[in-house]
Chain A
Amino acid sequence: MAAPPGAERAPRRWLTRERAAPVVAGIAILLIWEIAVRSLLPSFVATPTGIVRAIPSTMGTWAFWTDVAVTLSAIVQGVVIGSAAGILVGVAMGRVREIDWFLSTYIRALYALPLIALVPLVILWVGYQPEARLIIVIISVFLPVAVTTADGTRAISKDYLDVGQMFGARTHNVWFGIALPSALPFIIAGIELGFARGITNAIAVEVLASVPGMGMSVFTKSNELNENASLVYVVCLAIFAVSVRALMIRSRRWLAPWYSR
């Protein structure tokens, strides 16, 4: 695509080509979507204007907010439990070589495995229940946090340990006073990755195990040929996922300002 129209004529300096480009591209994407669907596809297929018109009837129901509450609270719960467990196991692995060697076989194998493959097994064990979603989110967060925490606490600068020893640091001081803070950027990166995977896997479990929630509703609305309502849910999920990413980047800058990446 050529330079966006109107960018050169703009009198004010804040309207640069680089700033105008995303707006123009966004409008172009929405226009092409709208026109292509209207001219080529049946009327039930979602369009941008259709999604906007479906917002009041979708978001005005209790069912919508119940879905949002159960899905998001399960994800947040899973992230809290998974991160806490991941940090504990990760510090132990990073500081004690033998624990690392002992556990790394399992953690690596599970980390390599696409967790969606564990969903049928979890469904078989706990049934078609909301607990299946929580368990999968916990595992999704635990694994990356344990791996990054282990990496971060393993590679502490020798100077910190020497200073710690000089001041008579005990094992728990070294673990939680030196290793953990210096591994903070790694841990946040792990939580960020785990959060993203947790959102995806929570939706996967909802659909595969028929657990009510946002992901389940995306599919049921679509099956009822209510595509616009289905896409309202997708947009909300996307907003949640994007805000989580932004929040994690923000918190990394805030909690670990010395680590710029």
Chain B
Amino acid sequence: MPDTTRSFGARVARFRTVNAWWIQIACYGASMALLVAVWEALGNSFGVLFVPFSTTVVRLWELLHSGPLLPALLVSGKLYLVTLTINIVVGVGLGLALARVSLIAAAFERYIFILYATPTIALVPFISVLFGFEFGPRVLVAVLISIFPILLGTMEGARSIPRQHLDVAAIFGSTERQLWRDVIVPYVTPYAMSGIKQSIALSMAGTLVAEFFLNPDGVAAVLLQGTTIVDSGWVLAVTLFIAIIAVLLVGIGELIERYLVKWRKASVG
């Protein structure tokens, strides 16, 4: 609608809708540029405790190229992958079992919630007294931190199956296999996947906690090493490195979710 006496506010609003895409990119760019600029400026003024962005990047390159970071990444990566695999297998399996057998669920549900709410770090001394400091207890700590979204998500998914669907399947004499293929899997998958998406990011937190608190190892040990020798360039570089990996993992989770939404639309419509 053309009107000649547009107010300033209306003109701003129009500018914002027409140029939304460019403003968005400009905002992202400006925020990144500002971060680098402020980091660079402050780094030069504070001295040893806060090195500039450029120094951090150089430091990261050194740590990756000839330092301890890549071997440590392999150690952490192994723990991460084992943790995530156990989370998916045990989380989905246990979640289905708990949801399908209501008495077991009634028996153990509140203890699972208590375990979920309890800060796992506080359990580390007890776990290490029972099982030691090796790979096994590390996996246990990491799993205790990151399995719950999958476990609880799967349970919720299995409970969301309408009673009628199960009855209809029973009336038409569907076999156990058909029941799973046609009713249970389609209902549970979205819930389990959203749990897995969260667990992809959370398993990394679990990995780091296990490495920090059970005899430092992997990337966490490299990070602590920097604190011990009071080398802020070292600590900033490793923190930046962990942040980049974290953002990538969250990105992978979001890609999986997007793919899943498409898949669901395709299978429903």
**Interface residues of A, Cβ cutoff 8 Å to B:** 1, 3-4, 17-18, 21-22, 24-26, 29, 41, 44-46, 97-98, 101-103, 105-106, 108-110, 112-114, 116-118, 120-121, 123-125, 196, 199-200, 203-204, 207-208, 215, 218-219, 221-223, 227, 230-231, 233-234, 237-238, 241-242, 244-245
Instruction: Decide if the interface of chain A is mainly helix, strand, loop or mixed.
Output: helix
Other-chain residue from A24, A98, A200, A222 in contact with B27 (beta carbon distance below 8 A): A98
- 8 residue pairs of the A-B complex, CB under 8 angstroms, read A24-B107, A101-B23, A114-B205, A124-B230, A204-B121, A222-B126, A230-B125, A242-B118
Say whether A45 contacts B31, CB under 8 Å: no
Other-chain residue from B114, B120, B129, B201 in contact with A222 (beta carbon distance below 8 A): B129
Say whether B227 contacts A238, CB under 8 Å: no
Say whether B247 contacts A112, CB under 8 Å: yes
Say whether B130 contacts A41, CB under 8 Å: yes
Other-chain residue from B24, B32, B243 in contact with A113 (beta carbon distance below 8 A): B243
In Å, the complex CA distance between A219 and B129 comes to 11
Q: In this assembly, does B16 line the interface, its C-beta being within 8 Å of a C-beta of chain A?
A: yes
Residues of chain A contacted by B235 (CB below 8 angstroms): 120-121, 124
Other-chain residue from B30, B120, B250 in contact with A102 (beta carbon distance below 8 A): B30
A21-B103, A101-B27 known; A238 and B114 CB under 8 Å?
A: yes
Say whether B30 contacts A215, CB under 8 Å: no
Say whether A21 contacts B31, CB under 8 Å: no
Q: In this assembly, does B249 line the interface, its C-beta being within 8 Å of a C-beta of chain A?
A: yes
Number of A-B residue pairs having CB atoms within 8 Å of each other in the complex:
162
**Interface residues of B, Cβ cutoff 8 Å to A:** 16, 20, 23-24, 27-28, 30-32, 35, 49-50, 102-104, 106-111, 113-114, 117-126, 128-130, 201, 204-205, 208-209, 212-213, 223-224, 226-227, 230, 232, 235-236, 239, 242-243, 246-247, 249-250
Residues of chain A contacted by B247 (CB below 8 angstroms): 108-109, 112-113
Say whether B117 contacts A242, CB under 8 Å: yes
A18-B106, A106-B35 known; A45 and B121 CB under 8 Å?
A: no
B112 to chain A, nearest CB (A): 11
Residues of chain A contacted by B204 (CB below 8 angstroms): 114
Say whether A102 contacts B212, CB under 8 Å: no
In Å, the complex CA distance between A222 and B16 comes to 60
Residues of chain A contacted by B201 (CB below 8 angstroms): 112, 114
Say whether A112 contacts B117, CB under 8 Å: no
Say whether A207 contacts B121, CB under 8 Å: yes
